[in-house]
Chain A
Amino acid sequence: MLLSISWRNIWRNKVRSLVIIFSVALGIFAGVLAGAFFKGLANQRIQKVINTELSFMQIHNPGFEQSSDFANFIGNAQNIEDSLLKIPNITGVTRRMIVQGMAASAETAAGVLISGVFPKDEKTVTTISKKIIDGEYFDGIKRNPVVIGKKLAEKLNVKVRSKIVITIQDIENNITSGAFRVAGIFSTDNNMFDESNIYVRFNDIQKLTNFPVNATHEIAININDDENLSGILASVKELTGNKLDVKTWKELSPEMSYLTESMDMFMYIFIIIILLALLFGIINTMLMVVMERTKEIGMLMAIGMNKLRVFSMIVLESVLLSLTGGVVGIIIGAISSKIGETHPIDLSMWAQGYQQLGYDAFVYTQLDPSMLIKITILVIITGVIAAIYPAYKALKNDPADALRIE
C-alpha cells in the first residue's frame, strides 16, 4: 500500500509533477539518443576501418609488423590459406606482399605503401573494390594495373590509364622499378589512407622483386560476425602454432577498440550531468511535498507509521516521479534511436572536416539495450538521492507539534 500511496501522492499536484516528469523525460531522451548516436558513429568507423584497412584478423611472421622487413615473409602461404578457409565462420582469406616504395607520375612523386594482392581473394576480405569511383578494380588494364586512392591521384595529378612508375627495393636490396597503369581510383572516407595506399597484383610485383611465389608478408582474414572473433582466433592460433603472429583488429589498432569505450564513457558523463541538473529540481519538489504534508506526516507517525516507513514513502515517491519521466524518456529515446538505425542522421552540412578523420557523413544510430538498463538504474539512484534530504526533514517532524492546531 506504501507503493500506491506514493504513486497517488505524485498526482496530487499534477502540474508540478508533470513538469518534473517532462524534464526528466527530455533529459533522458537526449541522453539515450546521444548515446545511440555516438555508439553508431564509433561502430560505423570501426566497421569501415575493418572493412577497408584492417580486416578482422591478420597473420604475419613475428617481427614483420615492427620492422616491415621485406625478407621477413611467411613461406608456405598457400597451405595456410587453404587450411584457414576450412575453419567455420571464416568467410574470406587473402594474402599480400607489402612493400614501401615510391610512386612517381610525370610531374611528381610520393612515398606509398604498396600491397601486392590477389584481386579475387582480396574482394572476399576487404571492400576496396566497392570504393572505386573511377575506372575499375584491376580490370580494363592488361599489363601492370594499379589501383590508387583519390587523394594520391590528385597529388600525382593522374587519371585512369595514366602511367605511374613504382620504385622499390627487391629481395637482394637492389633498387628496381616498374611502369604501372592506373586501372581504378578508390575513395574511402579516410583521406590519409587514400593518400598512402596503393594496390598492385601480387604476380606483377613478385616478378619485379623476385619474391618467392608461394610466400607472403601478410594474411588477412574476414569473418561473418565480430561476435565469433575470439572463437575463431583460438582456432587460427591452433592452426599456426607459435610460429606466426596472429592478431585481431583490436590488437592491430588499439585506438579503435578504445573508441567504443571512450564513446561509452562520454555518454555516461553526459547522462550523469543531465541527471545532476535534474536532481536539484527533484529535491526542490520533494522538499515542497514534505513541507506541504507536515500535518499529514505527523498524523501518519502518530497512528503508527515508523521512521523507516515514512522514509520509504518519501523515497518511493521521488523514485516513482523520476522513473516515470525516465521511462518516458527511454521509450521515446529508444524509438528515435531505432528509427535512426535505418534512417541515418545526415551530417553532410558539417561533414567536410569530419570526413578527413574517416567518419561518415551519414550516421546510423546504434541502440545498446544494456545502456537502457544502466540509465534506468541511474535514474533510480537519482530519485533516491533526491529524496534523502527531504525524507530526513520529514522524519524530524514531531507528531505532537505537527498535529497541534494553532
Chain B
Amino acid sequence: MNNVIEIKGLTKIYNSSEIKVKAVDGIDINFKEGEFTAVVGPSGSGKTTFLNMLGGLDRPTEGEVIIGGVDVWKLSSRKLIDFRMNNIGFVFQSYNLIPVLTAGENVEFIMQLQGRPKKEREVRTKELLEAVGIGDRIKSRPSKLSGGQQQRVAVARALASKPEFILADEPTANLDSAATVGLLELMSQMNKKFNTTFIFATHDQRVMDKARRIVTIEDGKILKDEYFERE
C-alpha cells in the first residue's frame, strides 16, 4: 500500500530562553493509507511537537515531511495554508469549533473555504453529521452541545474537507470515559468506512487499546512501533 506520509530525520529544537530543548529528535517513520495509529508517550515526550510538524503547523529544525509526494516544509507559507486545508483534517483537544456557528455551519465552513458548491456542502454536512451520530443537532451552537458531541462535530469537520489523513492531538483529554470510548469508536468506524488515515496522540490507555498501530515516543525518539490486530 502507498505511503501517505513519509518522514525523514524529523527534528525540532526549541531555543527558548537559555536551555535548548530537543523536543523531537531525528524521527524516521512512514504512515500508510488507512492506518489507525496512536502516538503515545508520557507528557513532554514530544507528541504534540511531532504532530504539529506533521500537520504543517510547526516548522521542523531539520528533516522532511512528505505528504502525497509533496515536501510540505518547502511550500511557501501561503501555499502551506491551502495545503493544510485540502490535505489534513484536524481535531484538537479544545477550541475546535467556531462558537458563533452551528454544528452544521462549522462543518460546512471548511468546505466553503475550499470553494465547494453550496449543494454539495449541504448534502455532505448532513451526511457527515448523521455519520458521527448527531444529525439532529445540526442547528445547535457548540455551547449547546456536550464535550463529546463537540468532538464528534470536530471529527465530521475534519472529514468534510476529504483530507489525506486526520491528525488528532489528545482529542479525548477533556472527555469523560463514556464519551472517550464513544469518540474512539466513532473514529475507528470512520477510519473503516472512509478508509481515512488517522493519527492521534494520547496517553490514555483506553484510547491506545483501540489503535491498530502504536508508536511510542520518549524524549523525542521512537521507542517502539507495534502493530495490532483488532476486531
Contact = CB atoms under 8 A, between A and B. Distances in A.
Are A and B part of the same complex? yes
Interface of A: 1, 5, 8-9, 12, 295-296, 298-307, 309, 399-400, 403-405
Nearest to A10: B100
Interface residues of B, number: 32
B105 A302 contact: no
B48 interface: yes
Contacts of A307: 78, 81
13 contacts: A1-B108, A1-B109, A8-B100, A295-B95, A298-B95, A300-B98, A304-B81, A304-B84, A304-B110, A307-B78, A400-B52, A403-B57, A403-B95
B94 interface: yes
A365 to B, nearest CB: 41
Nearest to B57: A400
B112 interface: yes
A400 B94 CA distance: 13
Given A5-B101, A304-B84, A399-B57, A405 B94 contact: yes
Given A301-B81, A303-B113, 6 more contacts: A302-B84, A303-B84, A303-B110, A305-B81, A306-B81, A405-B170
A116 B92 CA distance: 93
A405 B100 contact: no
Contact of B85 (A1, A9, A299, A304): A304
Nearest to A308: B78
A-B pairs with the 7 shortest C-beta distances?
Answer: A304-B85, A8-B100, A400-B58, A400-B57, A295-B95, A306-B81, A400-B52
Contacts of B55: 302
A299 B99 contact: no
B90 interface: yes
B93 interface: yes
B98 A296 contact: yes
Main secondary structure of the interface of A (DSSP, over half): helix
A304 B95 contact: no
A307 B114 CA distance: 15
A270 to B, nearest CB: 36
Contacts of A8: 100-101
Contacts of A309: 113
B100 A304 contact: no
B100 A302 contact: no
Interface string B50-83: 0010010110000000000000000000100110
A308 to B, nearest CB: 9
A302 B113 contact: no
Contacts of B99: 12, 296
Contacts of B114: 304
Contacts of A400: 52, 57-58
Contacts of B149: none
B48 A1 contact: no
B37 interface: no
A299 B92 contact: yes
Interface string B92-127: 111110111100010011101110000000000000
B98 A302 contact: no
Contacts of B105: 1
B90 A303 contact: yes
A403 B173 CA distance: 14
